[in-house]
């Protein structure tokens, strides 16, 4: 097994789970780890929310032993709040602290945080420096290729991150204006890798083991990060590991096996958040597991009505009967 090191944290060089707001919660991260994800990143937490003692924000920072190595992710646009938030985050003993400079969502961008930082390199550097000076753990950053196609500045931003003490940079090969559409530009990731000495994590459009190896080979990146390609497919991390080690990988689970994995995933959500909140949040991930099954559209509609674990059990039995 090959490894990469981020600020002394040793990570297997297979595939990491990308941070995804409202998606990569604890249950999702645990599923990814169970199937071999080398590294996971938590949902982004507001620096100001932490500093103002927001309980829900603080809950995003807790780390279980089974999740390690794991980063907690912060977003903000004011260096003094970033430094204070880092000190709060360190109480949860994360392996790594990551600064989100890539989220494209309007409510984040409107406050000058997330991918809005791609337009303010000086402020970005100040945020990284503030975090590094406050942290005991390594500090990393996640950026996009640029704000739009006319301002591709990932190389500049990665150099600023490195100059200000970041231990690694993750690059999503899309601009903010692309959101999640179009194709990720792997050339940008390769250019960043050639421009800095710190580890570079590549992110964008890896949905198969073959594409994971292709990203490693094409960009020279130190670690590959998988996001939407893992929706309803936690076994992708196992397949990637197998493929990188042996050149082949096990097939996707059968429909019945997928339903058991879905049951496990939703059980983790409910265990973490309670049945009322958990089942509401489980509707979307439940529907992902049904892709490709007979009658999938109908069953996805039924997923949108789930409110109890008992309903879930009835739905699973109904799907199994119809698949048979």
Query: What is the set of active-site residues?
Result: 103
Cβ(125)–Cβ(151) under 8 Å? no
Burial (Cβ within 10 Å: 0-12, 13-18, ≥19) of residue 74: buried
- Nearest CA to 153 out of 192, 180, 105 is that of 192
How distant is the alpha carbon of residue 51 from its chain centre?
24
For CA atoms 95, 90, 42, 204, the dihedral sign is negative
141 forms beta bridges with 99, 169
For residues 94-120, one letter each, b for 16 or more C-beta atoms within 10 angstroms of the residue's C-beta and e for the rest, the string is bbbbbbbbbbbeeebbeeebbbbbbbe
Q: What are phi and psi of 60, to 5 degrees?
A: -70, -10
Q: How far apart are CA 167 and CA 162, in angstroms?
A: 7
If 0-12 CB within 10 Å is exposed, 13-18 middle and 19+ buried, where does residue 229 land?
middle
- CA–CA distances in Å: residue 249 to residues 10, 200, 225, 323: 24, 26, 19, 25
């Amino acid at each position: 097994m090959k490894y990469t090191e981020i600020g002394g944290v040793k990570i297997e060089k297979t595939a990491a789970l990308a941070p995804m707001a409202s998606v990569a919660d604890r249950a999702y991260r645990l599923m990814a780890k169970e199937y071999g994800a080398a590294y996971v990143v938590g949902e982004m937490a507001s620096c100001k929310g932490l500093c103002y003692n927001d309980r829900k924000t603080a809950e995003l920072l807790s780390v279980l032993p089974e999740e390690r190595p794991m980063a907690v992710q912060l977003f903000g646009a004011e260096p003094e709040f970033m430094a204070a938030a880092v000190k709060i985050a360190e109480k949860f003993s994360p392996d790594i602290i990551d600064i989100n400079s890539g989220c494209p969502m309007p409510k984040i961008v409107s406050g000058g945080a997330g991918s809005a930082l791609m337009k303010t390199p000086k402020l970005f550097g100040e945020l990284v420096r503030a975090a590094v000076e406050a942290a005991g753990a390594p500090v990393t950053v996640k950026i996009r290729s640029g704000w739009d196609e006319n301002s591709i500045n990932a190389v500049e931003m990665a150099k600023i991150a490195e100059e200000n003490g970041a231990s690694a940079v993750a690059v999503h090969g899309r601009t903010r204006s692309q959101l999640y559409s179009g194709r990720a530009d792997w050339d940008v990731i390769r250019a960043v890798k050639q421009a800095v000495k710190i580890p570079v994590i590549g992110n964008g459009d890896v949905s198969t083991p073959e594409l994971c190896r292709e990203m490693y080979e094409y960009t020279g990146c130190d670690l590959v990060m998988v996001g939407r390609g893992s929706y309803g497919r936690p076994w992708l991390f196992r397949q990637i590991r197998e493929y990188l080690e042996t050149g082949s990988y096990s097939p996707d689970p059968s429909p019945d096996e997928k339903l058991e994995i879905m049951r496990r995933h939703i059980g983790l959500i409910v265990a973490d958040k309670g049945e009322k909140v958990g089942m509401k949040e489980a509707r979307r991930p439940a529907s992902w597991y049904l892709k490709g099954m007979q009658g999938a559209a109908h069953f996805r509609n039924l997923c949108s009505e789930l409110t109890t674990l008992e309903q879930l059990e009835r739905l699973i039995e109904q799907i199994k009967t119809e698949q048979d």
